[in-house]
Structure formats: C-alpha cells, structure tokens
A and B are shown apart, each in its own frame.
Chain A
Amino acid sequence: MRDAYLVGAGQSEYGAFPEESYRSLFRTAFEAATDSVPRGIEASDVDEAFIGTLGVGGRQLGLSGPAVTEHVGLGGVPCTRVENACAASGFATRQAVQAVKSGMADVALAGGFEIMSDMSSDATKYWLGVSGETEWERLSGTTFSGVYAQMASVHMEKYGTTREHLSQVAVKNHANGAKNPHAQLGFECSLEDAQSAPVVADPLNLYHCCPTSDGAACALIVSEDVVDEYTDDPIRVAGVGASSDTVGLFQRDSYTGVPASQRAGEQAYEMAGVEPDDLDFAEVHDCFAIAELLAYEDLGFCEQGEAGDLIDSGATELGGDLPVNTSGGLKSKGHPIGATGAGQVVEAFKQLSGKAGDRQVENPTRGLTHNVGGSGGASVVHIFEKDAETEVSA
C-alpha cells in the first residue's frame, strides 16, 4: 500500500459557545486545517470525507457528516459519519488513512465535532451515558466517572497508585493547556487545588475529570502521489492501530489496563517499526486522570503498574523525556466528544510543524495519538513522523 501523509490540521477553540452552531464550529476547524497546509489546498481537491460525531443532543443524528461537509463547500464529496463514542474522529482519521492508502482517494478529510454545552446536566448525563453499557451497567446508576473510578480503585489497590498521582496528571495537563490558546480550561492548577476538589466518584474528584465541550477539529490526509503539491515538509502516517472490546467493563478480565489500547498500540508500533522509546511526544486520551496513567502502561511508556512512578519522575511533562498531552489533553484543552481524536491529530501536526508556540517540544521527529471510546470498547492509535529527508535537511 502507498504511504499517507498529514499535510494540514486545525481546530476551533474548545469551550462553551452559545453563539456558535455545530456547522459554524466545523467551518472554523476546516478553514484552520486548509490554512495550515504549507502550499495551500482547495476544497475541490478533497476526494472523500469521514466525520466523527456522537450526536450529543440528537440534533442532526442522521446524515450529520454531509450536514457539515456541505456547509464548507464539500457538497458532492462522498462523506461518512463515523461513530465510536469518544473515539469517533480518531477512527475517522483511520478511515481517511485507509481511503488514501488503498488508492481510492488522494486527499481525504478527517474531521469531528460536538456541541455539548447547551443542555441541562441531566440531558448531558444521558447523552454521555449512551456510550456506556446501557443494558447491564447503567442500571446501577453508573456514569463514566463511576466506571473509571473503579478502574482507579483496582489500580490503586494492586499497584499502590495514589490520589496524588491522579492529581499530578491534572496539574501537568493544566500547565500545558495554559499555553494553548484553543484550550477550554487554559489555566494552571496547583497540586493543592487538584487534591482538594470535590469528590465526583471516589477516588476521582472534579480535577480528575475532563469537562464537556463544544468544538470541532479537522485533519487533511493525502497520498504519496500528491503530497509534494501540498508541502515540502511531509509528515508521514507511519503507524495505525485499532481494536475493539466489550462495551461493559464487567466482561473484561482486567480493569488495570485497556486491552483495546494495548492491541492498537502494538499494531501501530509494529507498522511504524518503532518502539515507545522512539517517540518524542504523545497525545493520550485522558478523559479521567486514571485513563492517562493506564495509557502510559497500555502504550508501553512504562511497565504495568509503574505509571505512578512515571508521572512522579516528570518524564511526561513538557521538557521531559516523553511529554504527554502537550495540548492540555482532554482535561484542560477540552473534550468535545466527536472532535477529540481529530483534535489530537491537530496537536501532532502543530508539534511536528514547529507551530506549537509556548508548548513546542524541541525538534520532534515522531509523535503518537491515542483515542479511546467509552471505557475501552474501541481504541485507535496513530504514529506520525517527519520524513527522514526532512530530518536531514533540518
């Protein structure tokens, strides 16, 4: 199969935007993505589009892909909505890569959006809950915080992980998000703030949970045959991995890891021919602080059970050996469900293009994105890297 390249990516701000619609946010993201392509790109160049959205609120649940692509001048372009809960646009990105690698498209758009801020908290809870195990887990009054809290409880019991480790994730991601103009909660928080926040679902408190958000993000994936038309500094999609699992946690053997993420990570590393040590940064799915710690282990950043030591070491902070969630992550940048995966690709593009501003990682060659649906019913991993020629010339 031929190679696929990331030539542009952009997003709207994440937050609560009563003056915006899902279409206007998507337009902002699409224009940011096309504007970011070094040699420019026309809407008419796009051969295919994959749009991730859960459809929170149910406002345009059917045909929500075409509803936004038509709005940005892509009328007539084949468009498919991709739904995999919080991993929707991570999977949309994978679909775009597949379309390009297969030869069916030279230019594919991967995007995502969600509007979550215009509903009551009960309605939001309902729409978040539709991605839970609705038949057997929600019956107990379970929310995602309740499910992830129980993953945290087991990890703490088995490996001695502490509430302070969870809070350190919040402190780190807020420190990064404070440097990201698109972040919803772009302010720093102290360890004391994070430790003393009200309990949501013990052991998780408010600072261990990401917010709900409005937002949109887009990425442009092109083939090796046309990449030179768009950039002199190609970023190759070096690795892709994806997996699925039971929706309910109760059916899984272990709660101290996300098997779908482990499988997705292994596939992506194998395809890219790299090891976790070869990464310069990673954007991981920190919907809850424990999820970031589990990702460290699932993706091989450390051994099983050692995520607490890894966050303690400072290695995942900006300036550390492997900065994680330089964008602020879901915790600080925000989590507009359908946009989140594509939004992670935006950060990877910015970092590898040297356009990440105050949160720029020094001369990165390779970065990973990791996007999880629900409690791990679906997971997708991408590895992006600058072409070797670019490294030499740089």
Chain B
Amino acid sequence: MSWEPRPTPEITPETERYWSAAADGTLLVRECTDCGLVYHYPRALCPDCFSDDVEWKEASGEGTVYSYSATQSMSGWPEEDLPLVLAYVELEEGPRVMTNLECDPEDVEIGTRVTVRFKAVEDADAAVPVFVPRE
C-alpha cells in the first residue's frame, strides 16, 4: 500500500458499492434484516448471526469521536494533510470506523460531534470518508 499520495482503498466485489457510494457522497453501512445489527466493515454475512439477509443502509454521516491521536509527521503522507489526526468515530447508527479528522487537533476531544466528508481517490470509483467537527 502506497502512502503517496493517500492510500487507495482495496476494492473487492463485497465492498465495491460502499466505495462507489462514497464517491457519490454517501456513507453506507450494512444492516442485518434478521437480527437488526448495523455493522461496518461491509460484508455479505452478518458478523453476529451470520444471516445472508443483509441490506445496505444510508448512514446519516454524523458521529462522535470515540478516540483520537495526532501526529505531526508521517513519512510518505501528503504534506498538506499534516498534522495527521487519526480517530475512531462512532457513527450515529452504532458502528465505529477508523478514519481521519480534517481539522486542527486542538479542536478535537473525545466526544466531539463530527460530520462525514469525502476525499476523492485518483484512478478509482471511490472516495475515502473522513470527518470534520460539526458546525
């Protein structure tokens, strides 16, 4: 995986729709019709009850910071995207995602409410979800 520029997602048949929806500005999660679990990462079987009766669900794109860490330098990472803020964001729908916060680390704390944005990826029908503090 190259970090120059940002990493490109690995697109598989199971995740293609997730990435193309992101390119269209929509964050998708998966929902199990049998047990009701909403989950990430997207896969064809519910990770709890293993039902294959699962659907795509449009997430609101809102969430809160569950944890975060900031780093001032990251070899290979685009200079203009530093400092790099890593975060686990808990989506309103329940699942957590590992993501980046596009903001000054000083403006973040655990519990900060955030909204999704999408970073375009070159040469692929995909975009990477990142988050910014809610206005």
Chain A interfacial positions (CB closer than 8 Å to B): 121-122, 125-126, 129, 133-143, 145-146, 149-154, 157, 199-204, 248-251, 255
Contact assessment for A135 and B41 in the assembled complex, using a CB-CB cutoff below 8 Å: yes
Q: With contacts A141-B3, A141-B100, A250-B96 known, what are 9 further pairs, Cβ within 8 A?
A: A133-B98, A137-B98, A139-B128, A153-B67, A157-B67, A157-B110, A248-B41, A251-B41, A251-B47
| CB nearest neighbor in A for B101 | A140
A150 in contact with B68 given A136-B41, A202-B105, A250-B96 (CB within 8 Å): yes
Residues of chain B within 8 A (CB-CB) of A142 are 86, 98
Nearest CB of B to A107, in Å: 42
A141 in contact with B69 given A150-B86, A250-B40 (CB within 8 Å): no
Nearest CB of B to A127, in Å: 12
Contact of A121 among B67, B68, B75 (CB under 8 A): B75
Contact of A200 among B67, B71, B99 (CB under 8 A): B71
Residues of chain B within 8 A (CB-CB) of A201 are 69-71, 86
Contact of B74 among A134, A141, A248 (CB under 8 A): A141
Nearest CB of B to A252, in Å: 9
Residues of chain A within 8 A (CB-CB) of B10 are 134-135
In the assembled complex, the Cα of A251 lies from the Cα of B100 at a distance in Å of 17
Residues of chain B within 8 A (CB-CB) of A121 are 75
Contact assessment for A154 and B67 in the assembled complex, using a CB-CB cutoff below 8 Å: yes
Residues of chain A within 8 A (CB-CB) of B68 are 150, 153
**1/0 per position for B1-19, CB-CB distance to A under 8 A?**
1010011011000000000
Residues of chain A within 8 A (CB-CB) of B67 are 150-151, 153-154, 157, 255
Residues of chain B within 8 A (CB-CB) of A248 are 41, 98
Give chain B interface residues in 105-124, CB to chain A under 8 Å: 105, 110
Contact assessment for A150 and B100 in the assembled complex, using a CB-CB cutoff below 8 Å: no
Chain B interfacial positions (CB closer than 8 Å to A): 1, 3, 6-7, 9-10, 40-41, 47, 66-72, 74-77, 84, 86-88, 95-100, 105, 110, 128
Contact of B1 among A134, A150, A251 (CB under 8 A): A134
A141 in contact with B84 given A199-B72, A250-B98 (CB within 8 Å): yes
Nearest CB of A to B121, in Å: 10
| CB nearest neighbor in A for B81 | A141
Contact assessment for A255 and B105 in the assembled complex, using a CB-CB cutoff below 8 Å: no
Grouping DSSP codes into helix (H, G, I), strand (E, B) and loop, the A interface class, with mixed when no group exceeds half, is: helix
Residues of chain B within 8 A (CB-CB) of A151 are 67
Contact assessment for B88 and A249 in the assembled complex, using a CB-CB cutoff below 8 Å: yes
Contact assessment for B7 and A139 in the assembled complex, using a CB-CB cutoff below 8 Å: yes
Residues of chain A within 8 A (CB-CB) of B100 are 140-141
Contact of B66 among A135, A149, A154, A200 (CB under 8 A): A154
Which residue, B10, B84, B88, has most C-beta atoms of chain A within 10 A? B88
Contact assessment for B71 and A199 in the assembled complex, using a CB-CB cutoff below 8 Å: yes
In the assembled complex, the Cα of A125 lies from the Cα of B40 at a distance in Å of 26
Contact of A141 among B9, B77, B96 (CB under 8 A): B77
Nearest CB of A to B36, in Å: 17
In the assembled complex, the Cα of A146 lies from the Cα of B83 at a distance in Å of 13
In the assembled complex, the Cα of A293 lies from the Cα of B75 at a distance in Å of 29
Nearest CB of A to B2, in Å: 10
Contact assessment for B75 and A202 in the assembled complex, using a CB-CB cutoff below 8 Å: no
In the assembled complex, the Cα of A129 lies from the Cα of B72 at a distance in Å of 19
Residues of chain A within 8 A (CB-CB) of B76 are 122, 125
Which residue, B1, B77, B98, has most C-beta atoms of chain A within 10 A? B98
A146 in contact with B71 given A136-B41, A139-B128 (CB within 8 Å): yes
In the assembled complex, the Cα of A251 lies from the Cα of B99 at a distance in Å of 13
Residues of chain A within 8 A (CB-CB) of B87 are 150
- 24 A-B contacts, Cβ less than 8 Å apart? A121-B75, A129-B1, A133-B98, A135-B41, A137-B98, A139-B9, A139-B128, A141-B74, A141-B84, A141-B86, A142-B98, A143-B74, A146-B86, A149-B69, A149-B86, A150-B69, A154-B110, A157-B67, A157-B110, A199-B72, A203-B69, A249-B88, A250-B88, A255-B88
In the assembled complex, the Cα of A199 lies from the Cα of B10 at a distance in Å of 31
Residues of chain A within 8 A (CB-CB) of B77 are 141
